[in-house]
Chains A and B, each alone.
Chain A
Amino acid sequence: MTDEPLSTSLHPECPDPSRLGPDPAQGLLRARAARVAADRAARDDRWRRGFTRRRFLAGAGAAGVAALGSQLATARASFGQAGDGGGTLVVVFLRGGMDGLSALVPAGDPHLAAARPDIAVPDSALLPLDRTFGLHPALAPLHDLWALNRFTAVPAVSTPDVSRSHFQAQDCLERGGSSAGTAEGWLDRVLDAMGPGTTFRAVSAGATVTRSLAGDQPTLALRGIDTFVLHAGDTPMHARTVEALSTLYTGLDHPLAGDVASTMEGLNVATLLSAVGYEADAAYPEGAFAGHMSEMARLIKADVGLRVACVDVGGWDMHTGMGRFDDGTMARQLSDLGETLGAFATDLGGALDRVNVVVMTEFGRRVEQNANQGTDHGHGAAVLLLGGGLAGGTVPGAWGGLAPDQLDQGDVPGWNDYRDVLAEVVTARLGIGAGALPTIFPGHQVRPVGVMA
Chain B
Amino acid sequence: MTDHDDRPESLPDDGTARSELWRRRSVIAGIAGTAVTATAFTAQRVLPGGDEPPAVTDVRRTADAPADAGGFANRDESYAAIGQSEQISATQVPPPAQAAPPTLVFATASEAAAAAEVTVPTILDTSDPALHLLRRTTFGPTPDLLGEVHAVGIDAWLAAQCEPIRIPDPAADLGWAAFPLASADPATVRSSIERTTWGAMADYGRATLARQVWSQRQLYEVMVDFWANHLNVPTPGPGGWDVGPSYQRGVIRTHALGTFTDMLVAAARHPALLRYLTAEQSNKDSVNENLGRELLELHTVGVASGYGEDDVRNSAYILTGRTVVGRDGPGEEGSFRYDPDKHWVGPVTVLDFQHPNDTAEGGLEVGDAYLRHLAGHPATAQTIARKLAVRFVSDMPPPALVERLAAAYLEAGTAIVPVLDTLFRSVEFWAAVGQKTRRPLENVTASVRILGVMPDGDIAHSVGRLYNATIDAGHQPLSWPAPNGYPDVHAAWRSAGNVVAMWNLHRALVGDWEDGLTRPDPIGLVAGRPAATVGEYVDSLCARLCFQAFQSAHRDALVAFLGGDPAAPIGRFVDNNDALGAIALVLDSPYFSLR
Could you tell me which A residues sit within 8 Å of B by CB distance?
1, 56-63, 65-67, 95, 158, 160-169, 171-172, 175, 178-184, 204, 206-209, 211, 214-216, 219-224, 227-233, 237, 240-241, 243-245, 247-260, 262-263, 266-267, 314, 317, 319-321, 369-372, 374, 376-377, 379, 397-398, 400, 408-409, 411, 413-417, 443-445, 447, 449
Q: Which residue of B lies closest to A260 (CB)?
A: B499
Q: List 8 A-B contacts (CB under 8 A).
A: A57-B435, A60-B398, A165-B297, A167-B297, A232-B507, A237-B578, A254-B594, A256-B437
In the complex, chain B residues whose CB is within 8 Å of the CB of A251: 551, 553
- Judge whether B590 and A256 touch: CB under 8 Å: yes
Q: Which residue of B lies closest to A181 (CB)?
A: B71
- Judge whether A252 and B121 touch: CB under 8 Å: no
Q: Which residue of B lies closest to A55 (CB)?
A: B121
B541: Cβ under 8 A from any A Cβ = no
- Judge whether A222 and B496 touch: CB under 8 Å: yes
In the complex, chain B residues whose CB is within 8 Å of the CB of A374: 278, 281, 288
Give the CA-CA distance A241 to B6 in the complex, in Å.
56
Q: Which residue of A lies closest to B298 (CB)?
A: A167
Other-chain residue from B20, B474, B589 in contact with A206 (beta carbon distance below 8 A): B474
5 pairs of A and B residues whose beta carbons are closest in the complex = A179-B70, A207-B474, A61-B35, A59-B32, A371-B286
In the complex, chain A residues whose CB is within 8 Å of the CB of B584: 241
In the complex, chain A residues whose CB is within 8 Å of the CB of B551: 251
- Judge whether B494 and A255 touch: CB under 8 Å: yes
Other-chain residue from B6, B395, B481, B585 in contact with A245 (beta carbon distance below 8 A): B585
Interface residues of B in 49-87 (CB under 8 A from A): 58-63, 65-66, 68-72, 74-75, 78-87
Other-chain residue from A95, A214, A247 in contact with B79 (beta carbon distance below 8 A): A214
Give the CA-CA distance A9 to B231 in the complex, in Å.
48
| In the complex with contacts A167-B74, A319-B289, A254-B590 CB distance below 8 A | yes
- Judge whether A58 and B32 touch: CB under 8 Å: yes
| In the complex with contacts A183-B84, A259-B496, A263-B499, A165-B290 CB distance below 8 A | no
Least Cβ distance of A356 to chain B in Å? 22
Least Cβ distance of B481 to chain A in Å? 5
Other-chain residue from A169, A214, A231, A372 in contact with B504 (beta carbon distance below 8 A): A231
- Judge whether A249 and B2 touch: CB under 8 Å: no
Which of B133-141, B143-151, B248-256, B556-564 contacts its partner? B556-564
Interface residues of B in 205-240 (CB under 8 A from A): none
Other-chain residue from B83, B398, B492 in contact with A209 (beta carbon distance below 8 A): B492
Least Cβ distance of B300 to chain A in Å? 14
B500: Cβ under 8 A from any A Cβ = yes
- Judge whether B440 and A207 touch: CB under 8 Å: yes
Give the CA-CA distance A50 to B66 in the complex, in Å.
44
In the complex, chain B residues whose CB is within 8 Å of the CB of A166: 482
In the complex, chain A residues whose CB is within 8 Å of the CB of B1: 398, 400, 415
Least Cβ distance of A227 to chain B in Å? 7
In the complex, chain A residues whose CB is within 8 Å of the CB of B491: 209, 214, 255
B567: Cβ under 8 A from any A Cβ = no
In the complex, chain A residues whose CB is within 8 Å of the CB of B200: none
- Judge whether A221 and B83 touch: CB under 8 Å: no
Give the CA-CA distance A240 to B562 in the complex, in Å.
9
In the complex, chain A residues whose CB is within 8 Å of the CB of B511: 1
- Judge whether B2 and A160 touch: CB under 8 Å: no
Give the CA-CA distance A161 to B20 in the complex, in Å.
14
- Judge whether B75 and A371 touch: CB under 8 Å: no
Least Cβ distance of A252 to chain B in Å? 5
**B278-294 vs A, Cβ < 8 Å mask (1 yes, 0 no):** 10011101111110010
Other-chain residue from A66, A259, A262, A416 in contact with B83 (beta carbon distance below 8 A): A66
Interface residues of B in 537-595 (CB under 8 A from A): 551, 553-554, 556-558, 560-561, 577-578, 581, 584-585, 588-590, 593-594
Give the CA-CA distance A208 to B33 in the complex, in Å.
27
| In the complex with contacts A207-B475, A374-B288, A415-B2 CB distance below 8 A | yes
- Judge whether B496 and A266 touch: CB under 8 Å: yes
| In the complex with contacts A59-B435, A180-B70, A232-B507, A409-B472 CB distance below 8 A | no
Interface residues on chain B, number (Cβ under 8 Å)? 119
Give the CA-CA distance A14 to B395 in the complex, in Å.
45
B157: Cβ under 8 A from any A Cβ = no
**B485-505 vs A, Cβ < 8 Å mask (1 yes, 0 no):** 001001111111111110110
Give the CA-CA distance A283 to B585 in the complex, in Å.
40
B432: Cβ under 8 A from any A Cβ = yes
Q: Which residue of B lies closest to A416 (CB)?
A: B2
Least Cβ distance of A160 to chain B in Å? 5
- Judge whether A259 and B590 touch: CB under 8 Å: no
Other-chain residue from B493, B500, B560 in contact with A267 (beta carbon distance below 8 A): B500
B174: Cβ under 8 A from any A Cβ = no
Interface residues of B in 77-112 (CB under 8 A from A): 78-88
Q: Which residue of A lies closest to B430 (CB)?
A: A60
- Judge whether B123 and A211 touch: CB under 8 Å: no
Give the CA-CA distance A316 to B24 in the complex, in Å.
31
- Judge whether A320 and B303 touch: CB under 8 Å: no
Give the CA-CA distance A243 to B561 in the complex, in Å.
8
Give the CA-CA distance A136 to B381 in the complex, in Å.
46
- Judge whether B2 and A447 touch: CB under 8 Å: yes
- Judge whether B504 and A230 touch: CB under 8 Å: yes
In the complex, chain A residues whose CB is within 8 Å of the CB of B393: 59-60
Q: Which residue of A lies closest to B432 (CB)?
A: A60
Other-chain residue from A163, A211, A231 in contact with B78 (beta carbon distance below 8 A): A211
| In the complex with contacts A180-B70, A255-B490, A221-B590 CB distance below 8 A | no
- Judge whether B288 and A65 touch: CB under 8 Å: no
In the complex, chain A residues whose CB is within 8 Å of the CB of B321: none
In the complex, chain A residues whose CB is within 8 Å of the CB of B585: 241, 244-245, 248
Give the CA-CA distance A230 to B500 in the complex, in Å.
6
- Judge whether A319 and B495 touch: CB under 8 Å: no
- Judge whether B34 and A61 touch: CB under 8 Å: yes
Least Cβ distance of B509 to chain A in Å? 12
Least Cβ distance of B272 to chain A in Å? 16
In the complex, chain A residues whose CB is within 8 Å of the CB of B71: 161, 168, 171-172, 175, 179, 181
- Judge whether A58 and B66 touch: CB under 8 Å: no
Q: Which residue of A lies closest to B497 (CB)?
A: A222
B181: Cβ under 8 A from any A Cβ = no
In the complex, chain A residues whose CB is within 8 Å of the CB of B435: 57-60
B473: Cβ under 8 A from any A Cβ = yes
- Judge whether B70 and A172 touch: CB under 8 Å: yes
- Judge whether A233 and B581 touch: CB under 8 Å: yes
Give the CA-CA distance A146 to B81 in the complex, in Å.
41
- Judge whether B75 and A223 touch: CB under 8 Å: no
In the complex, chain B residues whose CB is within 8 Å of the CB of A415: 1-2, 4, 60
| In the complex with contacts A95-B482, A229-B500, A320-B288 CB distance below 8 A | yes
Other-chain residue from B6, B35, B59 in contact with A447 (beta carbon distance below 8 A): B6
Give the CA-CA distance A417 to B60 in the complex, in Å.
11
- Judge whether A63 and B34 touch: CB under 8 Å: yes
B242: Cβ under 8 A from any A Cβ = no
Give the CA-CA distance A314 to B121 in the complex, in Å.
39
Other-chain residue from A67, A165, A254 in contact with B123 (beta carbon distance below 8 A): A254
Give the CA-CA distance A284 to B189 in the complex, in Å.
36
| In the complex with contacts A61-B398, A229-B500, A165-B303 CB distance below 8 A | yes
Other-chain residue from B285, B508, B588 in contact with A248 (beta carbon distance below 8 A): B588
